[in-house]
Structure 1
Amino acid sequence: MFYWYDYFLVFFVLVTSVLIGIYFGCFGTKQSTVKEYLSGGKQMKIFPIALSVTVSHFSGITLIAVPADVYKYGAFYVFTCLSAVLLVIAAMYVYYPVLFKGDYSSIYEYLEVRFNRKIRLLSSFLYILYENLLLPVVVYTPALALSVVTGINVHLIVLLLCGTCVFYTAVGGLRTVIWTDIFQFVVVMVAFLTVCGEGINSAGGISSVWNKSVSGKRFDIFDFDPNPTKKDSFWICTVGLAVRFLFYICLSQSSVQKYMSLSTLRRCRWSLSLSGLCWCVVNICAVSVGLIIYANYHNCDPVMDKKITKNDQIVAYYVQQVAKKIPGISGLFMAALLSSAISTLSSSLNSLSGVIYHDFVRKFSKKSFTEKTSVTIMKVIVVIEGIWCTSMIFVIQYLGEILPLAIAITGLIDGPSLGLYTLGICFPQVDSTSAFYGTIGGVIFVSAIYFPSIYYKQKQVFVFPAKELRVSGCNVTNHTFYMASKYSNSFHENFTSNSYNVEGLDVIKSTTKLDDFSANQTFFFFRISYAYYCLLGALVTIILGLIVTYIRKCKTKSRADHARPANLPLLVK
């Protein structure tokens, strides 16, 4: 139940964010120029940028979806700390040196210089599509949680959330985005630490959490099987997610825009290192919350006990239980959720306004705009994007669990985009035509995998098995249990018990034979883990780009040979 002080904490976070926006929008330089609005005049500091990129990355998805995923499937997500090391090294020594050397204001400006304007427009369009697919998921996550604990309609919460974020982003520009991110990071960490502390205490201490997690097989994560059709493994979480996060940190305009607001490459590298460290801390906290929740519900799963209807609601439900012991904790955690969501949303809205203005509005406009008019146009773009994000919630709520959905959706776009940038930076022989066809091929390939996969999952042809879920501590009355098969990518069935304490059904497992239906009959690529979508998109784009380059060179050489007179010898250098 939400009390007045819980509402106050949520209200305090929203109002503070708005006031920061008003301050930077109405005082000082007032964000009156395009450079000031989008890059803070290239005078930003190392630590604020590091925190801003971190908090805008993890969003509500990390606070809600990651602990829920750990609770149900195990602590595989902890391997993302290794992913952070790999991507930071790549960012420091492969991608950002190129951007700083050319002093590019955006990654798309680099692509126009490296290839041509058509490639720039293609990449810009893919980024806009990427953000417009992801942002509704980012907003829906905390809205769903807040709806669970308050009873307020989720669509009203989304409207309030987007409205607040659109206002302060449009008014204050990048400086507002960064300083609200810092404030929101503090809120998130306080909430994380408070929930972890009380959760550990209620579970019986750290040793109790550890022992229950071990006995529940939540630490059975050292799976080195290279099979890409599993939901999680060491390789999937390390390599697959590293490539996906590489795109976000190195090539997503919302992150590039922040790092390029620093004055030198040396400062950028320091900020990248701090971002990687902060990212590891936040991810470890998220994994810890998932394990703590399992330790508290290890003998009575709330979904099976019908306390909640979806696994994604388990964090909000747990916080409600903790709130009974510590007044205000529910409001604090909901404030943290809202903070993480609007930090991501504000960063994306700010970068989207710049990309749409520079690459489409200004490029296709026949007249030039003054600085004041340009800033006004970008503010209007922020408002339009906010309206789109709000309306898309009606679709997102029917598409399944949040974490796989978010990673899979972004894999459609960020993989081919990463492949395109890599072709430009690492393969100087690739021209614009080859890069264009490679990128289009990458998008088509990943889409051809993703949409059939979504279809089969919606039809429940195959599901990923959860770790064991116990019900011996529940008083069960005519409950319908979700039965996770021990077979990878198998099916689910319903099992109804009578009215009694379920002593003999301590661990819920399926006993139906796989012969009834085999998900392995589904085409292999449709069963590949969502975490590999980005990697596949990047590889296909690079390979196709190199193949087209080779074919074009062979054709050019063939035409040259046919054009040469037969009596002239070949010239050897």
Structure 2
Amino acid sequence: MFYWYDYLLVFFVLVTSVLIGGKQMKIFPIAVSVIVSHFSGITLIAVPADVYKYGAFYGLTCLSAVLLVIASMYVYYPVLFKGDYSSIYEYLEVRFNRKIRLFSSFLYILYENFLLPVVVYTPALALSVVTGFSVQLIVLLICGTCVFYTAIGGLRTVIWTDIFQFVIVMIAFLTVCSEGIKSAGGIPSVWNKAVSGKRLDIFDFDPDPTKKDSFWICTFGLAARFLFYVCLSQTSVQKYMSLSTLRRCRWSLLLSGLCWCLVNICAVSVGIIIYANYHNCDPVMDKKITKNDQIVSYYVEQVAQKISGISGLFMAALLSSAISTLSSSLNSLSGVIYNDFVRKFSKKSFTEKTSVRIMKIIVVIEGIWCTSMIFVIQYLGEILPLATAITGLIDGPSLGLYTLGICFPQVDSTSAFYGTIGGVIFVSAIYFPSIYYKQKQVFVYPAKELSVKGCNVTHETFSMASKYSNPFHENFTSNSYNVDGLDVVNSTMKVDDFSANQPFFFFRISYAYYCLLGALVTIILGLIITYVKKCKSKSPANPTRPASLPLLVE
């Protein structure tokens, strides 16, 4: 339940976001802004829920951060700064041609227009539950506030608002963690419960790519995903390129990696702490909530009974993350649409004042589109898988395209274009059948052991526990115990026992590998086409294209 101080906290976030603006670009604000703009309700809600059910594998993303920072500092950004490109798409046009630039820009615009409504819908739905206001009204409030300060203040306002929102999120994380540790009996108790529940068994070196999580999947698979998402998406490039020198950019990249690790460690810690509190009574099996993704909100609601204002603080953090992602994306979208489509296809040139006005109009139009799509999303359950599919389709092939341009000077525009098309087709051929099989429950990922022996167990709870732990009701191992005369079962699926019924190997590959696979297929196809063309024609490579990577790195 929301009280007056909860509303005050949420209102404070919105008002402060509007009032901030007009600072000079510095290393630390850029680093924090990039990270804040790339985590949303997924980080605050989905990551802890995943850790609670499957273990702390997501903590390995700190190793991924090391890889993506090194690659960005010494492979990609030296090239971008050498050419003084205002966007990643400008680089693609200089390196290849206008067709590839427009193709890549179009994919980015399509991706953002489907993803952003989902980013806004997540906090709106959560706020609607605790406040009683309609989702539509909350969406209008979020989008209206965000569009206003993005259009008025531009990039500087976006960056300094992100700093404020980062502080809100970290305070929420630390408060929730602190109270959770106390209620679980202290840090040693949390640690022991996590160890006994196997939530910290994350160093699984099994090379099987069909597992949900492993050391290799979470380190190298997610490294490719985060490399594109955090460092090479237009939202990030626009901010890093606002710095004056490559040296400043490298320092900002390093700080971004540290901030990324800090946020992810906090999210993983929340998941571990929640497990320590509910290790004897899973709220899903106890029918307190209907699905695992709701466990963070349920936990915060329980904590709110002990600390006044914690619900408002957490919802403010959730709201902040959504606003940050939306504002950064709106700012980048306006630049991409204007530079790559409006200005390119216009027959007349625009003054600087007119250009700024057009980009502000684009921000408003995108905000209206985002708000309108929310009214559709609440009736279309398939929109979230669609947004996720677009993410998987774009990240890998786009990363492969940038890598071809920067690291392989012999690759021409034709080879890069068809290599990227091949990457998109390859990931699509894996992803869509995989979604179908998962919806049909042809294969599932087994969860860590969950228990209801500390609950007020009823026959209804027992039935729910059996169904939740074992959706196939066969081929599982179990640990049984008696609570109030009931035989309660903890079960873990044995996937190998029904491997004969599993779909083709490629359709079971972990989603974390989609970006890496898309990038590799794009690069390999681009190189193969280049080799075939070279064999057919002995003409030298186009000398007007940018030089190879070693000549550009400082």
TM-score if structure 1 supplies the norm length?
A: 0.87
Q: What amino acid maps onto 2:12 in structure 1? A: F
Matches within 5 A, 1:170-569: 170-393=151-374, 394-395=376-377, 409-477=390-458, 478-479=460-461, 480-481=463-464, 483=466, 491=472, 501=484, 504-505=487-488, 507-509=490-492, 518=499, 520-557=501-538
Output the CA distance in 1 between the equivalents of 2:364 and 2:473.
43
Does the 8 Å CA contact 2:469/2:490 hold for their aligned counterparts?
A: no
Q: What amino acid maps onto 1:52 in structure 2? A: S
Does the 8 Å CA contact 1:6/1:328 hold for their aligned counterparts?
A: yes
Over the residues paired in the alignment, what is the CA RMSD in angstroms? Answer: 2.6
**Offset at residue 96 of structure 1 (A):** 0.4
Output the CA distance in 1 between the equivalents of 2:285 and 2:136.
27
Output the CA distance in 2 between the equivalents of 1:537 and 1:49.
29
Match of 1:68 in 2: 49
Match of 2:126 in 1: 145
Match of 1:13 in 2: 13
Match of 1:569 in 2: none
Q: What amino acid maps onto 1:130 in structure 2? A: Y
Does the 8 Å CA contact 2:442/2:502 hold for their aligned counterparts?
A: no
Does the 8 Å CA contact 1:407/1:530 hold for their aligned counterparts?
A: no
Match of 1:136 in 2: 117
Output the CA distance in 2 between the equivalents of 1:504 and 1:206.
32
Does the 8 Å CA contact 2:128/2:135 hold for their aligned counterparts?
A: yes
Match of 2:3 in 1: 3
Q: After superposition, give the CA deviation of every residue in 1:5-44 in whole Å (9 maximum; x if it has no partner).
A: 1111111101111222xx55xxxxxxxxxxxxxxx8xx51
What count of residue pairs does the alignment treat as equivalent?
531
**Offset at residue 502 of structure 1 (A):** 7.3
Q: After superposition, give the CA deviation of every residue in 1:383-414 in whole Å (9 maximum; x if it has no partner).
A: 22223333444448865898x98765422101
**Offset at residue 459 of structure 1 (A):** 2.1
**Offset at residue 365 of structure 1 (A):** 1.2
Match of 2:73 in 1: 92
**Quick one: structure 1 residues 316 and 519, their matched pair in 2 at CA, closer, same or farther if it must change by over 3 Å?**
farther
Output the CA distance in 1 between the equivalents of 2:137 and 2:192.
42
Output the CA distance in 1 between the equivalents of 2:28 and 2:314.
24
Report SS of the residue matched to 1:504: strand
Does the 8 Å CA contact 1:49/1:178 hold for their aligned counterparts?
A: yes
**Offset at residue 481 of structure 1 (A):** 1.9
TM-score if structure 2 supplies the norm length?
A: 0.90
Q: What amino acid maps onto 1:4 in structure 2? A: W
Output the CA distance in 1 between the equivalents of 2:389 and 2:258.
25
Output the CA distance in 2 between the equivalents of 1:388 and 1:519.
46
Output the CA distance in 2 between the equivalents of 1:401 and 1:195.
31
* Gapped regions of structure 1 (runs ≥ 5): 25-39, 559-573
Output the CA distance in 2 between the equivalents of 1:525 and 1:438.
20
* Gapped regions of structure 2 (runs ≥ 5): 477-481, 540-554
Report SS of the residue matched to 2:38: helix
**Quick one: structure 1 residues 510 and 46, their matched pair in 2 at CA, closer, same or farther if it must change by over 3 Å?**
closer
Q: What amino acid maps onto 1:555 in structure 2? A: K
Report SS of the residue matched to 1:289: helix
Q: What amino acid maps onto 2:18 in structure 1? A: V
Does the 8 Å CA contact 1:13/1:335 hold for their aligned counterparts?
A: yes
Equivalent of residue 114 in structure 1, options 87, 95, 117: 95
Does the 8 Å CA contact 1:463/1:492 hold for their aligned counterparts?
A: no
Q: What amino acid maps onto 1:507 in structure 2? A: N
Q: What amino acid maps onto 2:169 in structure 1? A: V
**Quick one: structure 1 residues 399 and 455, their matched pair in 2 at CA, closer, same or farther if it must change by over 3 Å?**
farther
**Offset at residue 418 of structure 1 (A):** 0.4
**Quick one: structure 1 residues 266 and 441, their matched pair in 2 at CA, closer, same or farther if it must change by over 3 Å?**
same
Q: What amino acid maps onto 1:523 in structure 2? A: F
**Offset at residue 483 of structure 1 (A):** 4.9
Does the 8 Å CA contact 2:430/2:506 hold for their aligned counterparts?
A: yes
**Offset at residue 521 of structure 1 (A):** 2.9
**Offset at residue 369 of structure 1 (A):** 1.8
Equivalent of residue 101 in structure 1, options 63, 82, 86: 82
Report SS of the residue matched to 2:201: coil
Output the CA distance in 1 between the equivalents of 2:538 and 2:472.
55
Q: After superposition, give the CA deviation of every residue in 1:45-79 in whole Å (9 maximum; x if it has no partner).
A: 11111111111122221111110110111000000
**Quick one: structure 1 residues 15 and 267, their matched pair in 2 at CA, closer, same or farther if it must change by over 3 Å?**
same
Q: After superposition, give the CA deviation of every residue in 1:196-248 in whole Å (9 maximum; x if it has no partner).
A: 10010001000111111111111121111111111111111000100000002
Q: What amino acid maps onto 2:443 in structure 1? A: F
